[in-house]
Amino acid sequence: MAPPVTVNTINPKVIECEYAVRGEIVILAQKLQDEIKIKLEAHPFEEILYCNIGNPQSLGQQPITFFREVLALCDHPPLLDKSETQGLFSKDSIQRARKILDQIPGRATGAYSHSQGIKGLRDTIAAGIEARDGFPADPNDIFLTDGASPAVHMMMQLLIRSEKDGILCPIPQYPLYSASIALHGGTLVPYYLDEATGWGLEVSDLKKQLEAAKSKGIDVRALVVINPGNPTGQVLAEENQKEIVKFCKEEGLVLLADEVYQENVYVRKKKFHSFKKVSRSMGYDEKDIHLVSFQSVSKGYYGECGKRGGYMEITGFGADVREHIYKLASVNLCSNISGQILASLVMSPPKAGDESYESYISERDGILSSLARRAKTLEDAFNKLEGVTCNKAEGAMYLFPRINLPEKAIKAAGEAKTAPDAFYCRRLLTETGIVFVPGSGFRQVPGTWHFRCTILPQEEKIPAVVTRLTDFHKRFMNEFRD
């Protein structure tokens, strides 16, 4: 008798979903890395350069000292009773830890909290949102989650009843969305960002895709907007955002605003505006628009991916729906407490006058300016490659250059049974140790090829990345030139 859990008998939605960020190329990279550990000469490079994933601290970015001080004190509160602690921790981190512990029932950081997250921390986050936007936020609208991703899953679960339910997603997109929609059995309705205009978003295209989906019998329920964009890095202009908000209101769509890169903006002429702020500034309130805004501790200048901290702020939903959202959150009891604390710190960092303010600002600005420099260096490097064009990274952590692959290469890829961009990325990996994610993992206009590269390798490693990439690219184009 066949065993019950084989690939032929597991949930087909599991088989269907894909997540390229940690997909085939990355698995191969890990294999090669293991081989190098055993024998240094195993490959024509000494180390793997992971440019596939927005994981800053794995590539040497340092955490913000103040945040870690507070977290350590909350992890081990007896430290606060010892006089030696004053010599090892800043005064304001001690104060903040005390304040946070007072907000936790019984000062018990090891206890399950309220399923939406500790109330006092949500108050802090709401105040942080208000300070950022100039419009009030309600702590009861906030659900703290183990990173932003579980919150996205929750919303997909709520919205998707069957494959007849569609979610509008940007192409290219961060593949959490396609994977989550597939897992929940829904339909991804693509809208194409315009590469020629810096990955612009046209509401006319949104409308076109919406109508096309409707005519196929799809009930389109929500619109995902990633701002700043991933993998595309564009920061939306405020006017554009207003158009999007108006569109959602008119079409009755839930606006799912992925804003995890809100602190990663590298161009002076652009600024991050939350969709909440934009909606409220248009005079729209709870009655006018369903809006879910996602934030995370993984990105920005804090880069605390491993902590799994984040939240969603939900506005415009009736009490009956909110009850069900709460219920869903309660099945998992609560998100990890340390991540909750970190989310509150990210939304209310040290202020001018605080003891840690100077060092905090210096750390923050150091990281952000370095990210901006790396973004520029890599963008320029890509634009110098034959057949490659690369839009500016206005924000986020990625570059998404387009590569015009010669016919010969496309044919070779076909013979190897891989997508052409995956073919290029695989060769790049095996010859240089550099790990990019093929654009097909993010989807792209059919017939175009891209790859995503993070801007995260440490600044001193960037020249090596550029050199190796440039040399490889020359060889590749020579081999496959038509």
Nearest approach, Cβ of 254 to other proteins (angstroms)? 5
Residue showing tokens 């208000």: 130
- 38 or 352: CB nearest other proteins: 38
- 247 or 317: CB nearest other proteins: 317
- 205 or 288: CB nearest other proteins: 288
Nearest approach, Cβ of 31 to other proteins (angstroms)? 13
Phi, psi of 275 (to 5 degrees): -65, -25
Nearest approach, Cβ of 306 to other proteins (angstroms)? 4
Dihedral of CA atoms 15, 21, 25, 26 in degrees, nearest 10, equals: -110
- 72 or 127: CB nearest other proteins: 72
- 327 or 475: CB nearest other proteins: 327
Spatial separation of the C-alpha atoms in residues 190 and 218, rounded to whole Å = 12
- Closest among 62, 86, 129, 67 to 356, alpha carbons compared: 67
- 235 or 253: CB nearest other proteins: 253
Phi, psi of 49 (to 5 degrees): -110, 100
Residue 341 has a CB neighbour count (10 Å cut-off) of 30
Give residues with Cβ within 8 angstroms of 16, minimum separation 6: 182
Task: Report which residue type is found at 10.
Answer: I
Nearest approach, Cβ of 140 to other proteins (angstroms)? 13
- 316 or 420: CB nearest other proteins: 316
Q: Say if CB 436 and CB 382 are below 8 A apart.
A: no
Both tokens of residue 150? 């579980």
- 109 or 262: CB nearest other proteins: 109
Residue 351 has a CB neighbour count (10 Å cut-off) of 11
Burial-class residue 96 by CB neighbours within 10 Å (0-12, 13-18, 19+): buried
Nearest approach, Cβ of 427 to other proteins (angstroms)? 23
Q: Say if CB 85 and CB 59 are below 8 A apart.
A: no
Nearest approach, Cβ of 323 to other proteins (angstroms)? 9
Spatial separation of the C-alpha atoms in residues 346 and 341, rounded to whole Å = 9
383-392 core/surface letters (b: 16 or more CB in 10 A; e: else): eebeebebbb
Residue 288 has a CB neighbour count (10 Å cut-off) of 17
Nearest approach, Cβ of 475 to other proteins (angstroms)? 30
Nearest approach, Cβ of 284 to other proteins (angstroms)? 14
What's the angle, vertex CA 140, arms to CA 135 and CA 142, rounded to 5? Answer: 75
Both tokens of residue 389? 């064009």
Q: At what angle do helices 91-103 and 337-346 cross, to 10 degrees?
A: 120
Give residues with Cβ within 8 angstroms of 191, minimum separation 6: 168, 169, 170, 171, 201, 205, 206, 209
- 235 or 456: CB nearest other proteins: 456
Phi, psi of 78 (to 5 degrees): -55, -20
- Closest among 174, 177, 224 to 201, alpha carbons compared: 224
Nearest approach, Cβ of 320 to other proteins (angstroms)? 4
Nearest approach, Cβ of 36 to other proteins (angstroms)? 15
Nearest approach, Cβ of 393 to other proteins (angstroms)? 21
- 69 or 379: CB nearest other proteins: 69
- 339 or 401: CB nearest other proteins: 339
How far lies 474's CA from each of 2, 379, 395, 469, in Å?
51, 17, 29, 9
Tell me the Ramachandran region of residue 395: left when phi exceeds 0, alpha when psi lies from -120 to 50, beta otherwise: beta
- 78 or 353: CB nearest other proteins: 78
Nearest approach, Cβ of 392 to other proteins (angstroms)? 26
